[in-house]
Amino acid sequence: MNHLVLTVIAADQPGLVERVAQCIAAHGGNWLESRMSRMAGQFAGILRVAVPAEGYDELVEGLQELADHGIRVMLADSGIDPACNWKPIHLDLVGNDRPGIVRDITRLLAEHGVNLERLHTEVLPAPMSGEPLFHADALLAVPLTLSLDLLQSRLEELADDLMVELNIHKDE
């Protein structure tokens, strides 16, 4: 079996995911995992598919033909996931909203060799004041050699106006 990682982007419309799923199934592919979301009228998804070697080229061609329906599909071969060298860490960050928060956090993570596995961000009004609060929920892949205390300390030093909480969830 060959494994592909697909990125799907389109204007949101009913039946979009079904059309992609139908294409994959019609070419003998198996939908393994996915993350999909709708935002501001646009749809984006990333998914991993397994397909028998003999159906690979036909599947790729079929996915590219989805462009006729306004669905852009980008393809990448699935690589080996070196998960054994990482420990999963859940990061929950809440702070006053300001430009550059994501840039500053991701710079610090990259400096320490931390990989961002999943990131969900939003700005919501604070419960009492209504002031905009930035919230980030992330799954990090932290190198086994990096001290969690050091990482948490560096995150807390990043800005006085941010509250940072780091939680470990071994089952993710």
Is 90 within 8 Å of 138 (Cβ atoms)? Answer: yes
For domain 83-168, give the fold. Answer: Alpha-Beta Plaits (3.30.70)
Percent of the chain with pLDDT over 90: 60
Tens digits of residue pLDDT in 110-125: 999 999 999 999 999 9
Q: Residue type at 127?
A: P
Q: Please compute the mean of the pLDDT values over residues 151-162 and round it to a whole number.
A: 73
Cβ proximity of 108 and 141 under 8 Å: no
Indicate where the chain has its CATH 3.30.70.260 domain(s): 2-77, 83-168
Determine the distance from the C-alpha atom of residue 127 to the mean position of all C-alpha atoms in its chain, rounded to a whole number.
28
At 172, the pLDDT band (50, 70, 90 cuts) reads very low
Q: Is the pLDDT of residue 47 over 90?
A: yes
Instruction: Please check whether the domain covering 2-77 is classified as CATH 3.90.1150.10.
Output: no
Per-residue pLDDT reduced to its tens digit, 71-124? 999 999 876 665 568 888 888 888 788 888 899 889 999 999 999 999 999 999
Q: Under DSSP, is residue 154 helix (H, G, I), strand (E, B) or coil? A: helix
* Over residues 5-27, mean pLDDT: 96
Beta strands in the chain (DSSP E): 2-11, 30-39, 42-51, 72-77, 86-96, 115-125, 132-143, 162-168
Return the C-alpha torsion angle 115, 117, 123, 126, nearest 10. Answer: -90
